[in-house]
Structure 1
Amino acid sequence: MAKRGYHHGNLKQALVEAALDLIAEKGPQGFTMAEAAKLADVSAAAPYRHFTGREDLIVELARQGFELFADLLEYAYRDGQPSPLAAFEAVGRAYLAFARKHPGHYVAMFESGISPNATRDLATACARANKVLVRAADDLSQRLPPDRRPPTEMFAAHVSAMSHGIVELYARGAPGSRGPFTPEDLLETGIGIYLRGLGFLEPDR
């Protein structure tokens, strides 16, 4: 793994980028601050100008990740979708796309054991991303009579859990290495079954 350095003068971001590489390779508990400093090509003491320790560094990774995640979800949701269902499905696909493109951020956000309420900034970024998921679920829920609508937050949480499970089981490594179906196909059919069960879609004939 090549050293990153911080020729642009932003030591804090250089350490973040080094930690992203280390997390993707070794996991959130598999690296030390000294390793992050070495990869950023700075002294072992330099990281402590910005972070109190590894957990503080991971919190910053998670915060940046949720900001990126929210940006991607908002783009997917607003990108001229023809219907609430199409927009909802686009948000699900964006979840998978984010996990593939930003594995270090994804691990910091969802697999590091860091509480989303660890800092105010992290909580705000997390809430912003979750707001898109809840809004997509709420818009789709309007297709059902009020007495048949599921709790919107629970609806969004179910789809998030499904998406996360597919990432964990099928979106790691080479495509198709865990089965004949793509993660996108699995998510689409899983969401379809879930929505039919709630009454959003007509049963298959």
Structure 2
Amino acid sequence: MTKRGYHHGNLRQALVDAALTLIEAKGPTGFTLSEAAKTAGVTPAAVYRHFEGREDLIAEIARQGYEVFADLLEYAYEKGQPSDRAAFEATGRAYLAFARKYPGHYVAMFESGISIQRTPELYQVSSRALGVLEKSAEKLSQHIPVDRRPPPQMFAAHIWAMSHGVVELFARNSPGTKSPFPPEDLLETGIGIYLRGLGLIPADE
């Protein structure tokens, strides 16, 4: 069988795309570099021209995922303006939308065990993405009386945890966790209850 030819420069991305397919099918630890090479149509030796090992390849997938994630969060935040509440809620919905549309990237980012500090590039882009969540939380928290105002980082962490939980349990077809409600509704009502508890949504709304 003749191997497909790749011009210098796009073999790296071909390996990323191949690994994404394998991650979606088998998880981040369920494939080998040889399988990634075979899926990409190249020899195993070709992988090492671009990646030191499987974790290096997964880290690049995570970096690319965070680039898309950050862009989606920034777009959602800006679209929700000038309402701080609408912008905040939009970032939560963007989180769920990202997990649905980019499952392989999501797994590489949050379920592979790869540290966001593995490379400077990965840390920089992950910080940009998480910074949007913190910025939206900080802006919205200004509407809470000081004596009842949680730190913005805690505020953002609560919403992140809620979004992540909905994704893990109900948006990715986890065995035995089927919900009678759409994940979007679960997230929307969960955020609503949280914000109402902080006095950001009137009781009768």
Cα 1:142–1:96 shift into 2, 3 Å: same
Partners of 2:166 and 2:99 lie apart in 1 by 10
Q: Are 1:83 and 2:83 counterparts?
A: yes
Question: Could you tell me which residue of structure 2 aligns to residue 162 of structure 1?
Answer: 162
- Say if 2:44 is the partner of 1:40: no
Runs of 4+ in structure 1 over 4 Å off:
3-9
Structure 1's unaligned 5+ residue stretches are none
Deviations 1:100-154 (A, max 9, x none): 1100000000000111111111110110000100011011111112232111011
Q: Where does 1:47-196 land on structure 2 (aligned, <5 Å)?
A: 47-79=47-79, 81-173=81-173, 178-196=178-196
Q: Which amino acid counterpart does residue 51 of structure 2 have in structure 1? A: F
1:199 deviates by 2.0
Which letter maps to 1:47? V
Please show how residues 11-22 of structure 1 align to structure 2 within 5 Å: 11-22=11-22
Q: Distance in 1 between matches of 2:4 and 2:172?
A: 25
CA contact (8 A) 1:6 1:40 kept: no
User: How many pairs were matched up?
Assistant: 201
Q: Deviations over 1:4-24 (max 9, x none)?
A: 974685010000010011001
* Structure-2-length-normalised TM-score: 0.92
Take 1:17 and 1:4, find their aligned partners in 2: how far apart are those partners? 15
C-alpha separation in 2, matches of 1:118 and 1:112:
12
Whole-Å separation in 2 of the counterparts to 1:143 and 1:123: 31
The residue aligned with 2:201 is 201
| Partner Cα separation in structure 2 for residue 116 and residue 84 of structure 1 | 28
CA contact (8 A) 2:33 2:53 kept: yes
* Post-superposition offset of 1:201: 1.8
Is contact 1:5–1:14 with CA below 8 Å preserved after alignment? no
The answer (yes or no) to whether the contact 1:23–1:31 under 8 Å persists in 2 is yes
Percent pairwise identity: 70
TM-score (structure 1 length as normaliser) = 0.92
Distance in 1 of aligned mates of 2:76 and 2:199: 24
Q: C-alpha distance in 2, partners of 1:71/1:52?
A: 28
**CA contact under 8 A between 1:166 and 1:187: conserved in structure 2?**
yes
Q: Please give the root-mean-square deviation of Cα atoms over the aligned residues, in Å.
A: 2.0
Contact 2:80–2:88 at 8 Å: present in 1 too?
A: no
Q: Which runs of 5+ in 2 are unaligned?
A: none
Name 1:31's counterpart in structure 2: 31
Q: Is the 8 A contact 2:144 2:198 kept in 1?
A: no
Cα offset, 1:196, TM superposition: 1.6
Code of the residue aligned with 1:173 in structure 2: it is N
Could you tell me which amino acid in structure 1 is paired with residue 184 of structure 2?
A: E
